[in-house]
Structure 1
Amino acid sequence: MALSDHLRELRARILKSALALTVGFVVALIFFDPIFALVEGPYTSAQDALGADNTQATTNGVGGPLMLYLKLCGLTSLIATSPFWLYQIWAFILPGLHANERRWTRIFVSIAGPLFLAGVLLGYLTLPKGLEILIGFNRDELLNLVDFNDYLSFFSRTLLVFGIAFEIPVFVVMLNLAGVVKGRTLAAYRPWIIVGTFVFAAAATPSADPFTMCFMAGPMILLFVISEVIARYNDRRRDRGRINAGLSPDEMSPL
C-alpha cells in the first residue's frame, strides 16, 4: 500500500473509534445512575465500615456537577468500547506482521486481556479497605470533604495501576521468548525481584497503605513465579532443539 492509502485507512479507523466512543458516551449518560452507584460503592462501603459521619462526598464549584457527568461518562465509554477501538489499532498494525508474529500476538492478547480485567477487579475489591484506612486518619472533630471529581480520578488510577501490574508477567514471558531474559536469570534474581515488586506496589498504589500494597504485590509475585516456570520450560524446549546445546566452548559438536 502507498503511504496515502495507509493514511486513509488510519483516518477511517480513527473515525470509527471516535463514533464508537460517542455512542458509548451517550449510552453512559442514559445509565448514569447505576454507573454512579458502582463507582460510589467503595466509598460508601468505607464510610459504613468506619461507622462515622465525619466524611462526606461533595462537588465543588458551579461546574463541578457537569464535570462529574463528563468525566464519569467519558471514562465509562473509554472502558466499555475498548474492545472495539483496540481491535481498530490491531487491524491497522496486523498487515505489517509476519505469520508467526500474528500467532504470538493473538496468544498474548488472549492472555493479557483477562489478566488486566482480573487486576481491575482485584483493585475494585480492595479499594474500600484502602479508603477506610486513609479516611480513618481523619479526627472526629473534623469533617472530611471528599470532592467526587478527585475521588473519581483516585478510583480510576487505582484500577488502572492494578490492571497494568497484572500485565508485567506477560511482558516477562515476551522477553524470554525474544531471548532477552533467561529462566535461570529470573531464578537467580528472584529475591531482588520480590523486593522490587513490593517497592513497586508501595509506590504505584494511590492509597499508599500496606493493605492495598500487599493485595497487589501478592498476586504479582504469584504471576511472576508462573512466568518464571514458563520461561524455564521454554528455555529447555529451545535447548532441546539445538544440536550443540549444553556444550562448553571447548567441546566439539557432533557435526
Structure 2
Amino acid sequence: MLKSARKKEKDPEGRMPLAEHLRELRNRLAKAVLAIVVVAVVAAFYNKQIMDFLSAPVPKCPGRDLSQSRGGNCAVLVFNSLASPFTTTVKVSLLAGVTVSAPIWLYQLWAFLAPGLHKSEKKYTVAFVATAAPLFVAGAYLAYAIMPTSMRVLLSITPDSAANTLNLDDILDFTVRMILVFGLAFELPLILVMMNIAGMVTGRTMAKWWRGVVMGVFVFGAVATPSTDPLGMCVLAVPIIVLYFGAVGFSMLNDKRRERRNPDRLLDDDEAAPLDLSPEPVGDSEALPALKDRPAARSGYDDVT
C-alpha cells in the first residue's frame, strides 16, 4: 500500500526526468537484446538448415565433382579456413536472431518513443510499421527469387579451362546483402508517402521529380546490387519505379483530400486572414516638450536638418 502510494503518476504527455528516460532506455534495450540472443541460440541448433536455405540459389555440382564445373555450369561450396565454419555459424545465428526477433525489438523501440507522440502521430506510425513489414518481405522474396538466375549469369562468364570453388561465407554474405538491399529499397515509396502526410512534400512536386527518380533508381540498382548484372538491376529498379508512381498517385489524392478539408481554400490572403481595422483607445500619452526647451537652432537649421 505504501509502495503504491509513493509511486509517481505517469505524465499523460510522456514527460519524465532524464534519469527516468535513461532507465527506460536501458530496460527496453535489455529486452531487445535478450530477445535477439534467445532467438540466436535457438537458431544455432538449426544453423545447417539456415545455411542450406541461404546457399540454395547457387547451382551446385552433383557429388561435388569439379569436372562438371567447366564453363560455369555449377560450383562447389567450400570453407577456406579452419575457423570459417564456426564464424559462419555465429554470423548466421545472429542474423536469424535479429530477423526473427524483429517484431519484439521493434515493439520495444515503439514503446520507448510512443509516449512522446501525439495521437495522430501514433496512428500514422502504426500504419507505417504495418506497411513497412510487408514491403520489406516482398523485396526480400523478390531478391531470393532472382538470385539463382543472377548467379547462373555470373558463373556463365567462367572459361572452360577453369572451375568454380566458392567460399560459403562469401555466398552467405552475398545472399544477405541482396535481401537487405531489395528489402530496404522497397521502403522508399513508403517514406515518400509519410513525408507527404507530414506536409513535407506535395504529390505534384513528387511528380515533377519522375525523370530524376527513374534515372537514380536504375543507377542505384546497378551500384547497390551485389550481383552487378543487368537482370538484378532491372528486377530491382522496375518494382521501385512502379511503387514510386503509386506513392505519387496516393500523395496527389491525399493533397486533394487535405485541400477539400481546408475551409479557407477559396479565399484570398486578405479574406483568409482579415485585418482588424476597428479603432481602439490609445490612452493617455505624454505631452510634447515645449519648443522653448529645445536647443536653439544654429544658422537657421535645427540639429536634424
Q: Same fold judged by TM-score > 0.5?
A: yes
- SS of residue matched to 2:57: helix
Report whether the alignment pairs 1:217 with 2:237: yes
Aligned: 1:182 with 2:202: yes
Give distance in 1, aligned partners of 2:225 and 2:137: 17
2:167 is the alignment partner of 1:147: yes
Question: 2:25 maps to what in 1?
Answer: 10
Shift of 1:254: 10
Give the equivalent residue in structure 2 for 1:166: 186
Residues 1:37 and 2:52 are matched in the alignment: yes
| Residue identity in the other structure for 2:123 | R
* Matched AA of 2:19: S
Aligned residues: 251
Displacement of 1:247 in angstroms is 6.2
Do residues 75 (structure 1) and 95 (structure 2) align? yes
Output the amino acid matched with 1:40. S
Counterpart secondary structure, 2:58: helix
In the other structure, the counterpart of 2:121 is: 101
Query: Which residue of structure 2 lines up, in the alignment, with residue 122 of structure 1?
Result: 142
Q: Contact (CA 8 Å) 1:244, 1:254: kept in 2 or not? A: no
The whole-number CA distance in structure 2 between the counterparts of 1:182 and 1:246 is 19
Local SS of the residue matching 2:218: helix
The 10-residue stretch of structure 1 (177-186 or 109-118) with the greater mean CA deviation from structure 2? 177-186
* Unpaired runs of at least 5, structure 2: 1-15, 275-305
Give the match's secondary structure for 1:53: helix
Q: Is the 2:203–2:255 Cα contact (8 Å) retained in structure 1?
A: yes
Quote the Cα distance in structure 1 between the aligned partners of 2:123 and 2:104.
Answer: 20
CA contact (8 A) 1:197 1:217 kept: yes
- Between the aligned partners of 1:41 and 1:111, the Cα distance in structure 2 is 29
Out of 27, 30, 52, which is 2:42 matched to?
Answer: 27
Identity %, equivalent residues: 38
**After the TM superposition, which segments of 4 or more aligned residues of structure 1 sit over 4 Å from their partners?**
246-249, 251-255
- The reply on whether 1:232 has 2:248 as its aligned counterpart is no
Greater relative contact order: 1 or 2 (C-alpha under 8 angstroms, separation 6 or more)?
1
The equivalent of 2:221 in structure 1 is 201
Q: TM-score, normalised by structure 2?
A: 0.77
Cα deviation, residue 244, structure 1: 3.8
Q: Please say if residues 243 and 254 of structure 1, whose CA atoms lie closer than 8 Å, have aligned partners that are also in contact.
A: no
User: Using the alignment, how far apart are the partners of 2:135 and 2:55 within structure 1?
Assistant: 24
Q: Which has the larger radius of gyration?
A: 2
Q: 1:53 maps to what in 2?
A: 69
Superposition deviation, residue 79 in structure 1: 0.6
Give how far 1:172 is off.
0.7
Task: Render the CA deviation track for 1:20-44: whole Å, top value 9, x for unaligned.
Answer: 1121111111122321221111113
Shift of 1:111: 0.6
| DSSP 3-state at the match of 1:57 | strand
Shifted more, 239-248 versus 191-200: the winner is: 239-248
What residue is the counterpart of 1:90 in the other structure? 110
Gaps of 5+ in 1: none
Using the TM superposition, give the Cα deviation of residue 191 of structure 1 relative to its aligned residue in structure 2, in angstroms.
2.5
Judging by fraction of residues, say which structure has more helix: 1
What do you get for the CA RMSD once the two structures are aligned?
2.1
Instruction: Report Cα offsets for 1:26-79 as digits up to 9, x if no partner.
Output: 11111223212211111137x68xx94243211111111111111111111111
The one-letter amino acid of 1:19's match is: L
1:235 is displaced (CA, Å) by 0.8
TM-score, normalised to structure 1, is 0.91
Determine whether 1:156 maps to 2:176. Answer: yes
CA distance in 2, matches of 1:139, 1:118: 35
